[in-house]
Structure 1
Amino acid sequence: MSIRMIAGWCAGFVCTLLPFGANAQTEPRYPIKPVRLLVGFAPGGGSDILSRAVGQKLTERWGQPVVTDNRAGAGGTIAMELAAKAVPDGYTLLVVSGSQLTNAALVTRVPYDIQATFAPITQMTSQPYVLLAHPSLPVKSVKELIALAKSKPGALNYGSSGTGSSAHLGMELFKDVAKVDMVHVPYKGAGQAMIDLMSGQVQLLLASAISAMPQVKARRLKALGVTSSKRSGLLPDLPAIAEAGLTGYSVVGWYGLVAPAHTPPAIVQHINHQIAQILGSPDIREKLAADGIESAPGTPTQFRETITHEIEKWTKLVASSGMKL
């Protein structure tokens, strides 16, 4: 082979490599500095615990600190506003719940379009609620509860963790689908509502599995059903409320992760894949299951559809029922 041929071959080979080298140089590396996970509630709550667990795993994977930043207040909207105004570069993310977004849209009425302001990354968890009754209430099933409520319109009451909360909206949906009338008793938090349910001050309550089941096992309260459309794999012995003939009844709490709108799609996809792997790990799944929560990662598109469906669903219910929020 002549020197001229070798030189030509080498030149051609180098040229074929140049596009790949250029792509490697222009492709953004992420992350190259600490990442902030905004949480709209105080330390110790569900979103905070999830944020810290996932953040630790991301720190180990990325070699960069992933720090939970609690900005409690106004039903989570303070953290939402901070995230909305953040630079869309992937270094400020927001852990959100379904009730937080619904509350912002219907109760607080934030002055911006939630769906246009944030880029969905992934849903992370799914959690049905448990319909609890005080032992003095003479019912053993959802069907019996509906029959009792219809025989005594306005006589039964239910507590909630506050106006516009998932517990409130979930029971209003129950009233709408079952065609019954009950009185809402709002509290400033789920803890006080649970205390008054156990003392008999209120008769019914939707609560998370982790707070409900210890009281059920101790026979302080009765569990009538779960709010998911079908039985929960974590509570297989409890019937779904929909099984009582309430077709379409489904209320499921969830946590997810969003970024400011216009965050580069490549970064959104990268975070999505990382979260999916983390939530699929046995230790995280076991930790969540112990709290009555299932891991439920999906694509950004699926998460956007979930957010859209939730906001439309509750907006329609509020409008049709005339409830005060």
Structure 2
Amino acid sequence: MTTQPPAHSLFPPSFHRDGIARRTLLAAAVAGAVAPALTWAQGSDKPLRMVLPVSAGSGVDGVARVLGPSLGKALARPVVVENYPGAGGITGTSMIVKAPKDGSVLGMVSNNHVVNPSVFKNIPYDAVDDITPITMIGATPFVLVAHPSVAARNLRELIALAKAQPGALNYGSSGNGTILHLAAEMFVHEAQVDIKHIPYRGMGPLTADVLGGQIQMAFIAIAVAAPHVKAGALRAIGLSSSVRSPLLPDLPTMAEQGLSHYVLDGWVAVVGPAGLPKAEVERAYHGVRSAVATPEVRDALLAQGYQLQSPPPDATAAFFRSEIGRMARLVKQSGLKLD
């Protein structure tokens, strides 16, 4: 059942089959080679507001605060990070959507942006048409971890255990409809196993309870999982991305272990309000590319398990549309009811 994992990309296999990612990323590479990141001598004393639809201390918040100083230098203006959590990201994203269309406000979103249209009945914006995608920052894998009391040391053994005891095992998630919930449901669907879902309120309490053995397994971010795995407090079963991670180099991917179609990363992207002038889009895009390329930002994000990519705005928009469709299918498979 073992298959060769595909080359790493933020984009899912179906997106690559369409050829869109290959063409647009090639265009980005050419543009980067012939036109290095722009400089903005004119600058601005007015801060760039980076609106985050998540709380301080979250993974996306950490990326924004790592990126902010270097982005400010690239754009020759200060960057102020503002957190507006609530309603699964809808509160903060609504502020991005309503922001002035002059480049003074950008936002940073994650998987929830493309999950929410399939989870909430009434969202006051369109997840693609009401924003201007700028670029992706990168993607980081999730790790399927199990408490050491679970009698399985790899994915094959876990699937065999689950099939031998239908409904007896459980997994936790960071909440109904979150990407960690869908990561687990994707596993359940592809492995054709029956495992009970126990939702939590965030990754913190989820991680605490899988460490304590109150739940048996969960998908959690690799930066959170790796220290516990190395200490022996958790057992790593499989990696969600298409290639292995330097943070846990000996851990095989889910695809390597037989679930050949399983690829799901946690990603972060920069967006602006719809109608952002082309010049401002280009300014922001090259600014982010320049900032991510600095050693301090690159090294900090790599240390968190991120694979870095900066596709151009049109590729980012196409990725959003593709992911909205993919997440809709996952939500339907999970049986999750719309709120």
- Shorter-chain TM range is 0.7 to 0.9
Q: CA deviation at 1:234?
A: 4.0
Residue ranges of structure 2 left out of the alignment (5+ in a row) = 1-41
Q: Does 1:118 align with 2:131?
A: yes
Offset, 1:108: 6.1
**Cα displacement (A) at 1:138:** 0.6
Using the size of structure 1 for normalisation, the TM-score is 0.87
Within the candidate set 243, 253, 272, 2:256 is matched to 243
CA distance in 1, matches of 2:274, 2:305: 32
Counterparts of 1:12-31 in structure 2, within 5 Å, are 31=44
d(CA) in 1 for partners of 2:229 and 2:161? 21
Q: Is 1:226 equivalent to 2:226 in the alignment? A: no
Matched with 1:167 is 180
1:254 to 260, 267, 292: 267
**Could you tell me which amino acid in structure 2 is paired with residue 89 of structure 1?**
D
**Distance in 2, Cα, partners of 1:108 & 1:202:** 30
Larger helix percent: 1
- 2:83 aligns with 70
Q: C-alpha displacement at 1:63, in angstroms?
A: 2.9
Work out which of the residue numbers 282, 296, 318 in structure 1 matches 2:309.
Answer: 296
Helix, strand or coil for the counterpart of 2:280? helix
Consecutive aligned runs of 4 or more in structure 1 exceeding 3 Å deviation? 29-32
Contact 1:39 / 1:71 at 8 angstroms: preserved in 2?
yes
2:120 aligns with: 107
Are 1:30 and 1:267, in contact at CA under 8 Å, matched by a contact in 2? Answer: no
1:153 alignment partner, one of 166, 172, 177: 166
The CA deviation at 1:246 is 1.0
- Of 310-319 and 130-139, deviating more is 310-319
Query: Over residues 230-284 of structure 1, what are the superposed CA-to-partner deviations in whole Å (9 max), with x where a residue is unaligned?
Result: 3234432110011122121111001110011110112111211121121122221
Maintained 8 Å contact 2:135/2:270 = yes
Q: Which amino acid aligns with 1:92?
A: V
The answer to whether the 8 Å contact 1:226/1:238 transfers is yes
Which stretches in structure 1 are left out of the alignment for 5+ residues?
A: 1-28
Q: 1:32: how far off? A: 6.3
**Residue identity opposite 2:324 in structure 1:** I
Q: Which residue of 1 aligns with 2:283?
A: 270
Greater relative CO (CA pairs within 8 A, separation 6+)? 2
Kept after mapping to 2: 8 A contact 1:39/1:70: yes
Indicate if the aligned counterparts of 1:280 and 1:295 stay in contact, CA closer than 8 A: no
**Where does residue 9 of structure 1 map in the other structure?**
none
Supply the distance in 1 between the matched residues of 2:248 and 2:290 (Cα, whole angstroms). Answer: 25
Distance (Å, rounded) in 2 between the aligned partners of 1:183 and 1:200: 15
Matched, 1:216 2:247: no
Question: Alpha-carbon deviation of 1:96?
Answer: 0.4
Return the letter of the residue paired with 1:203: Q
Deviation at 1:105, TM superposition (A): 4.4
Instruction: Report if aligned partners of 2:222, 2:247 keep a CA contact under 8 Å in 1.
Output: no
